[in-house]
DNA sequence: CTCGATATATATCAATTCGATATAGAATTT
DNA sequence: AAATTCTATATCGAATTGATATATATCGAG
């Protein structure tokens, strides 16, 4: 499942430009996947060559043409074929948790701010998810929205209850202060 | 925070070969980061050139020499400098959740098996984490272990309670059966 | 006892992805 | 009035992924 396939998937929700596809990755797909312009634009070019999408340029006054992509029948068939495959294992990449793994090498103030920021980011995450959660269209969106909220909330609760474990184990402030 | 820096971090736990570093990524670091041999070996070569690690070859009978790496003083200083930086935002990549996002395009049997497998993988995750959780050395490891268990358990609970939302919204079996 | 699978151990390579940068006007905020 | 953010596309070097190659040991199943 590469970015190219995912772009195709996003186009099943409706015609979009590359810019709007990026928004979709940041929005409804943010729980599951991410991609930047550096992968999206080349992916759309490849999909166009393969005739899995068609492209029409919408002229805009004093802005670059907006290229609007539509999925084709063969594109839709290809996408369905792809999502029927057994999904690969989940991947998590958290620099914040990685930092906490080395809390014994850092001053307590540092750990505290990492934990604070992590909780804050989970909180914002929940807010932006919950925002739409009710009025979201499909059942699958509601399901995934609720999933995100539940899991992030569990993470916050755990952190608040157990942060003392790592905040007391750090090096004394004076020894690592630069 | 690249693989190279993370390899350096793992070496603060003790001398290791590239192979053992891979095991560390799969074990104690699995909650936070992952890396394959294709990134680890080049990273170790680069670190050696930079003199952030030193390398001794342990001859083994009828096996390739085991190259054991040790972190140097400058390496340790560099690593500490790196983890003091503000961590980048978390990233999640789940093909399974992505698939569920398109449940309206798939037969119910397909969704059921994706959910089943996802729960199973979270379960195995919890088991392998809990296994060590008690006897783990440092506070930070206990903290992160507990974090992983808590969050995965919340994910399982949510899935079991809400899976019906997506399992009833799918296409009728006959329409998408290949 | 042998066959296949898994573990130890390193390494490379093409394809993909990331992250930064460039361009440029509109709209909004300070 | 200035600064920042938003819309919109695109490229490019660097990093990462995932597959593959090589070679032997070990362990369980039939």
Per-residue pLDDT tens listing for chain A (178 residues): 999 999 999 999 999 999 999 999 999 999 999 999 999 999 999 999 999 999 998 776 666 678 999 999 999 999 999 999 999 999 999 999 999 999 999 999 999 999 999 999 999 999 888 876 666 678 888 999 999 999 999 999 999 999 999 998 665 554 443 3
B166–A143: do the CB atoms touch at under 8 Å? yes
pTM of the model: 0.87
Cα A47 from Cα A31, distance rounded (Å): 24
Q: Report helix, strand or coil for B66.
A: strand
Sequence-distant (6+) residues with CB within 8 A of A21 are A7, A10, A11, A40, A44, A69
Predicted pLDDT of residue A134 = 66
- Residue A112 structure tokens: 């505290």
Strand C neighbours (CB under 7 Å) are: A 2-4, 34-39, 42-43, 62-63; B 17-20, 22-23, 37-38, 41-42, 44-45, 60, 63-67, 88
> How far is the C-alpha of A109 from the C-alpha of A166, rounded, in Å?
11
Query: CA-nearest residue of chain A to B105?
Result: A80
DSSP letters for B34-70: ---HHHHHHHHHHHHHTTSEEEEEEEETTEEEEEEEE
């Amino acid at each position: 499942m590469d970015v190219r396939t995912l772009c195709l998937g996003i186009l099943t929700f409706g015609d979009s430009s590359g810019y709007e596809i990026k928004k979709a990755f940041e929005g409804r797909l943010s729980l599951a996947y991410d991609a930047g312009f550096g992968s999206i634009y080349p992916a759309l070019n490849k999909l166009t060559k393969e005739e899995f999408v068609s492209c029409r340029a919408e002229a805009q006054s004093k802005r670059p043409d907006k290229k609007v992509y539509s999925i084709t029948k063969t594109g839709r068939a290809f996408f369905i074929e792809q999502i029927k495959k057994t999904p690969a294992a989940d991947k998590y990449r958290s620099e914040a948790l990685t930092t906490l793994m080395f809390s014994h090498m850092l001053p307590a103030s540092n750990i505290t701010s990492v934990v604070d920021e992590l909780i804050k980011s989970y909180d914002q995450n929940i807010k932006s998810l919950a925002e739409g959660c009710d009025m979201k269209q499909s059942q699958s969106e509601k399901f995934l929205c609720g999933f995100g909220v539940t899991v992030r909330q569990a993470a916050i609760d755990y952190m608040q209850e157990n942060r003392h474990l790592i905040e007391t184990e750090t090096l004394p402030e004076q020894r690592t202060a630069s």
